[in-house]
Amino acid sequence: MALPAAQHIEVRTTGSDTNGGGFNPSNVNFPTDLTATSANTASPVVSSPSYTFGAGDVGAYLFIKSGTNLIPGWYLIVSVSAGSATLNAAVGAVVLYLNGTTDSINTTAGCATVASPTAGTFGVDYSQQNAAEITYTDLVIGATTTQFTSVANPVSKALTGNTIQITGGTGFTVGFYEVVSTTGTTATCDRSLGTAASTGGTGAIGGALATFGKAVGTMVASNTIWAKSGAYTTAAQLAPVAGAAGAPSVIRGYGTIRTDKVQTTTLTATASFTAVFSNVANTIIRDMTIDGGGSGKAARGVSTAGTQNWYDNLIIQNCTAIGINLNSNSTTVSNSRVTGTLTGGTAGINLTATGSANRVIGCRVDANAVPGIVSSQGNIVVGNLVYGNTGATSDGIQLGSITPVWGNIVYGNGRDGIRLATSTAGDGVPIFGNVIVNNSGVGLNSTVTVYGGSMLFCDYNAFFNNTGGARTSMPIGPHDVTLTGDPFVNAAGGNFAPNATAGAGAALKAAGWPGVYPGGATQGYVDIGVQHQDAGGAAGMLYVPSLDGV
């Protein structure tokens, strides 16, 4: 056996790398006798016939796995009285556990839909706190080497699902172990702890780890690492263990509660190496800032060579060569910012010649001293803001092979807005719905003879004030728009929504693809570039066609 694939690992700047750090919500041996009163309020009171909650549980999280009328999730234990625990179940205070996933926060108060549920399956997660729950100096390995006991800190049911880190002791094997079950005052772990009957073992259960290096070194395939808001550093490249298809490995930052989707967890490189994160396949990295450290430090923020990865809601900054490098297949970069890539590098986001079917969607790629996005083959670049990338060869979007490019704002870059750099770059490629403004070179430029040029779908693009003209060696689309003024609300302030000026922003509205559908009975009203908001309008969802067939 080994640590479970479903294990969650907590990292905090206030933690310690000698803590236990982990909890397994998929454990099958949790107690099943949780009861509650006032369960459908913001302050439920829970108890268990088989476990007496104590003062040491305050600050830990009650994990409700399942139960009739109960709402699975993590609930902070705020107080304990007479063996019962009072929880914080207010709106916005609970991370829900739905169908084995952790990606939403509660919108209704309570830990149940009724006042007094019974027979809940539960655990106590001690990993989401700064200090260890228990520090051992007298561990004893049983005759069965997967088992341990302690006289000073007798085992209880609440340890089930938590991780113990063994740090020393003659006959003990240092490492991380899951407490998979308990019987009386004996704990059974996922594998052998060392030599039978060894005594004087040291270790800890509960408490967060302190560094990304320790957490990544601890993880196994399909684990989830949570890193609470704070400033972290790494002096070496980190290589998360690849997940499995349908069960990715995950690294996520958070602010005050898991899944709150902020970027206040910052990891900064302090030495020179290839990439802060270098991973293989089936990995998700979300909700954090990755800082290359600037000159002489990390060349790349994230670099991957595998398949089925997802990088979302990231800020990647201050890398020496490339912000995100995708030498991969079927990887998505979404809702992220790449900025501050230094002179002499390749691109803010680089989709390499050996990768394909990758997607860059809804990103901001700005203020790099290199081209914004470079794509070599079979990828999609949709709905991005690519602007202010400086330097004599810094195109906004540079294409080396077939890449559909749709709905991007390409503004104020050092050379061309969109540049086709090889003879196959335009072979059957849709380049449409882009707003291309104020670039120092040509708006839409092909530097070579486009192979299969008759297949090039280049239409519904809008142009203004590109120094080298709107286009070179590229066809004029019948629905292209030549603007007479700056079309944006406030480009200098980063607001690229269309303004209401005639011939400028107003000319982008309802002028995009698709317009009139075949047959003429249906008319589309999509804007070119960023969609405007009508009075009373709410946020919508960008429609992204599957142009690459994946």
Note whether residue 105 is domain-resident: yes
The pLDDT tens digits along the chain (550 residues) read 578 999 999 999 999 999 999 999 999 999 999 999 999 999 999 999 999 999 999 999 999 999 999 999 999 999 999 999 999 999 999 999 998 889 899 999 999 999 999 999 999 999 999 999 999 999 999 999 999 999 999 999 999 999 999 999 999 999 999 999 999 999 999 999 999 999 999 999 999 999 999 999 999 999 999 999 999 999 999 999 999 988 999 999 999 999 999 999 999 999 999 999 998 899 999 999 999 999 999 999 999 988 999 999 999 999 999 999 999 889 999 999 999 999 888 999 999 877 788 999 999 999 999 999 999 878 999 999 999 999 999 999 998 877 889 999 999 999 999 998 875 555 567 899 999 999 999 999 988 765 444 456 789 999 999 999 999 988 889 999 999 999 999 999 999 999 999 999 999 999 998 888 888 888 888 999 998 887 766 555 454 443 333 3
Note whether residue 108 is domain-resident: yes
Note whether residue 80 is domain-resident: yes
Strand ranges in 186-238 using DSSP code E only, listed in sequence order: 186-189, 201-205, 224-228, 230-234
Q: Which of 104, 119, 134 is the last residue of a domain?
A: 119
Tokens at 170, concatenated: 């003659």
Note whether residue 97 is domain-resident: yes
The DSSP string of 57-96 is GTTSEEEEEE-TTB--EEEEEEEEETTEEEEE--TTS-EE
Name the residue range of residue 78's domain.
Answer: 33-119
Q: What is the dihedral of CA 369, 370, 371, 376, to 10 degrees?
A: -160
Cα 103 to chain centroid, rounded: 11
What's the CA gap between 277 and 192, in Å, rounded?
32
pLDDT digits 0-9 by tens, 102-149: 989 999 999 999 999 999 999 999 999 999 999 999 999 999 999 999
- Residues forming beta bridges with residue 17, ordered by sequence position: none
Give the CA distances from residue 34 to residues 16, 29, 72, in Å, rounded to whole numbers and listed in that order: 31, 14, 12
Q: 358: which DSSP letter?
A: -
Give the CA distances from residue 337 to residues 29, 259, 295, 365, 407, in Å, rounded to whole numbers and listed in that order: 43, 19, 19, 6, 17
Residue 214 phi, psi (nearest 5): -70, -40
Contact 7, 24 (CB under 8 A): yes
- Give the closest residue to 163 by CA, choosing from 18, 20, 7: 20
Instruction: Give the contacts of 366 (CB within 8 A, at least 6 positions apart).
Output: 337, 338, 339, 372, 385, 386, 387, 388, 389, 494
**Amino acid sitting at position 111:** C
- pLDDT for residue 524: 84
Sheet holding 322-326, edge to edge: 275-279, 300-304, 322-326, 347-351, 373-375, 397-399, 418-420, 444-446, 471-472
- Give the closest residue to 164 by CA, choosing from 187, 198, 194: 187
pLDDT digits 0-9 by tens, 42-53: 999 999 999 999
Query: 345: phi > 0 → left, psi -120 to 50 → alpha, else beta; which?
Result: beta
Tokens at 237, concatenated: 């490249």
Q: What share of the chain is helix, strand, coil (3-state, %, to 5)?
A: 5, 40, 55
Our count of domains for the chain comes to 2
Tokens 């625990």 — which residue?
85
Note whether residue 533 is domain-resident: no
- pLDDT for residue 425: 54
Note whether residue 115 is domain-resident: yes
- pLDDT for residue 539: 57
Question: Considering the chain, what is the average pLDDT of its residues?
Answer: 93
How would you write 6-63 as a 3-class SS string?
A: CCEEEECCCCCCCCCCEECCCCCCCCCCEEEECCCCCCCEEEECCECCCHHHCCCEEE
pLDDT digits 0-9 by tens, 453-491: 445 678 999 999 999 999 998 888 999 999 999 999 999
Note whether residue 438 is domain-resident: yes
- Residues forming beta bridges with residue 309, ordered by sequence position: none
Note whether residue 483 is domain-resident: yes
What's the CA gap between 458 and 473, in Å, rounded?
12
Which CATH number goes with the domain that contains 454? 2.160.20.10
Residues 34-65: b if buried by 16+ CB within 10 A, e if exposed: bbbebbbbebbbbbbeebbbeeebeebbbbbb
- pLDDT for residue 523: 85
- pLDDT for residue 347: 96
What's the CA gap between 46 and 96, in Å, rounded?
18
Q: Which of 74, 91, 119 is the last residue of a domain?
A: 119
Q: Is 273 strand, coil or helix?
A: coil
What's the CA gap between 174 and 166, in Å, rounded?
5
Q: Which of 96, 119, 142 is the last residue of a domain?
A: 119
